[in-house]
Structures are given as structure tokens and as C-alpha cells.
């Protein structure tokens, strides 16, 4: 059973919406707990934490309806479930780019998660300069008398990517998506600087690790 099927069992639309939000909230809790366990295990085995911090949110109803209208769909519950894949979202922020792909692999190997889709905006950034790794997964939520499959979007990025994306969001929000060309151009240039910073910081970290190993061997 999926979220929409369970919503249809409710007596009215409002009750169905509240049920859906309950399920998305439960799915977020499961994903966040999984990520925390993976991070703890990585610390235990490798003495290193690949994750800097984790954020999560459920999209507001007004935002869902606005997104549906932008996509040309009627803002009803059926379209909400079938056309919007980021109602429940988890953002994982890592230190370095290799950490992202290692985490993607670990999440993908979880037996009770089904990876629905992936979008690698790190290897192929958006035209705006946006970089992040997106994966949509389905997670089972166990209620008292049934199992419901819920979809969650996971975004994984570095600290630098997250800083850039947060700034871009604020700027475009102020301009309602129609920022002047010179601002878009400056943002793209900043995205290039962010990419160079990520590469430089990873190289520096590798050098530090080698120096530590060298000192330990002396």
C-alpha cells in the first residue's frame, strides 16, 4: 500500500491530508535514524565522520500546491502524491565530495530502502551552477495494522555546496524566480569558486592525513 491508497480510506480530504503528513513524518524519522547509525558506524570503523550535519523538512501545503500549479497540475491530493517527489526531504551535508558518493553507496545498500531515482548534479551541475546529489527512495512505514510505502527525497552535498544553494534560494525567492541576468551570472561564477574550494579543501585534507601517517610511522 502507498500513501495515496491509504489517504483514500479516510472519510474526507482533510483527514487524508493529515494521514499523509503523519506518514511522511514517520518516513523522515526512519531515514534520519538510518543516516545517524551509518555515521556512528563509520566513526567506529574508520575513526572519521563523513557527515557534518543533517536537516529534514516536510513541504508546506501551500508550497506543494504552488509547485503543482507551476507544473501545470490541479492542486489535488492525487497529484500531490503522484507528481511531487520531495514532500518529505532530508539534506545531508558532508565535508568532502568523496564522502557524498560513499554515503550514496551505503544508503543504496540498505535492504529495506528502494532507490527510485538518482540525479547527480555534482558531475552534471544545473545551468545555474547548482550542485548536489539527489536520490529518491521508498521506505516502508509500519502502522498498527498495515505497511505503507512512503517516498523521501535525499539531498547530499558538501558544506560549500550547501552555502551556495542556500544563498541562491534566498536570492531567487526575493526576485520570485526572475533575478536579473547579472545576478545569475555572478552566482554561476560563485559556483565555480565553490567547486575549486571543494577540490582544494579535499587535497589539503589528503595532505594532512599523509602527514599524520608519516609522523605516526617515525
CATH code, 3-162: 3.30.460.10
CB 166 within 8 A of CB 132: no
Give me the percent of the chain exceeding a pLDDT of 70. Answer: 94
Is the pLDDT assigned to residue 6 strictly greater than 80? no
- Alpha-carbon distance of 97 to 95, in angstroms, equals 7
Residues 53-104: tens digit of each pLDDT: 999 999 999 999 989 998 999 988 888 888 899 999 999 999 999 999 999 9
Residue 71 to residue 61: CA distance in whole angstroms: 15
204, 206, 212, 216 alpha-carbon torsion, rounded to 10°? -160
CA distance 90 to 134: 10
Spatial distance between the Cα atoms of 56 and 88, rounded to a whole number of angstroms: 8
Which tens digit of pLDDT belongs to each residue from 153-202?
A: 999 999 999 999 998 888 877 766 677 888 888 889 999 999 999 999 99
pLDDT score at 10: 65
- pLDDT grade for 12, boundaries at 50, 70 and 90: low
**CA 21/CA 61 separation, integer angstroms:** 10
Query: How do strand 88-94 and strand 147-158 relate by DSSP bridges?
Result: parallel
E-assigned strand segments in 76-183: 88-94, 114-120, 133-142, 147-158
Domain map (residue ranges) of the chain = 3-162
Cα 99 to Cα 110: distance, rounded to the nearest angstrom: 17
Residue 65 is a catalytic residue:
no
- For residues 16 and 186, the model is more confident at 186
Q: Per the residue annotation, which of 65, 74, 127, 153 is the catalytic one?
A: 153
Amino acid at each position: 500500500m502507498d500513501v495515496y491508497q491509504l489517504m483514500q480510506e479516510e472519510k474526507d480530504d482533510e483527514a487524508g491530508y493529515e494521514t499523509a503528513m503523519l506518514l511522511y513524518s514517520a518516513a523522515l524519522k526512519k531515514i534520519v535514524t538510518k543516516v545517524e547509525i551509518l555515521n556512528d558506524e563509520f566513526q567506529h570503523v574508520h575513526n572519521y565522520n563523513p557527515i557534518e550535519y543533517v536537516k529534514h523538512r516536510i513541504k508546506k501545503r501551500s508550497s506543494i500546491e504552488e509547485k503543482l500549479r507551476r507544473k501545470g497540475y490541479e492542486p489535488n491530493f492525487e497529484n500531490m502524491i503522484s507528481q511531487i517527489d520531495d514532500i518529505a526531504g532530508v539534506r545531508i551535508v558532508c565535508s568532502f565530495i568523496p564522502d557524498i558518493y560513499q554515503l550514496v553507496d551505503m544508503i543504496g545498500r540498505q535492504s529495506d530502502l528502494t532507490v527510485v531515482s538518482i540525479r547527480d548534479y555534482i558531475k552534471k551541475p544545473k545551468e545555474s551552477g547548482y550542485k548536489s546529489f539527489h536520490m529518491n527512495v521508498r521506505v516502508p512505514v509500519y502502522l498498527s495494522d498495515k505497511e505503507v510505502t512512503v517516498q523521501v527525497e535525499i539531498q547530499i552535498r558538501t558544506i560549500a555546496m550547501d552555502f551556495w544553494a542556500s544563498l541562491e534560494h534566498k536570492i531567487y525567492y526575493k526576485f520570485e524566480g526572475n533575478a536579473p541576468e547579472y545576478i545569475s551570472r555572478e552566482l554561476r561564477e560563485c559556483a565555480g569558486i565553490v567547486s575549486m574550494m571543494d577540490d582544494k579543501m579535499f587535497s589539503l585534507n589528503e595532505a594532512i592525513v599523509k602527514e599524520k601517517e608519516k609522523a605516526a610511522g617515525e
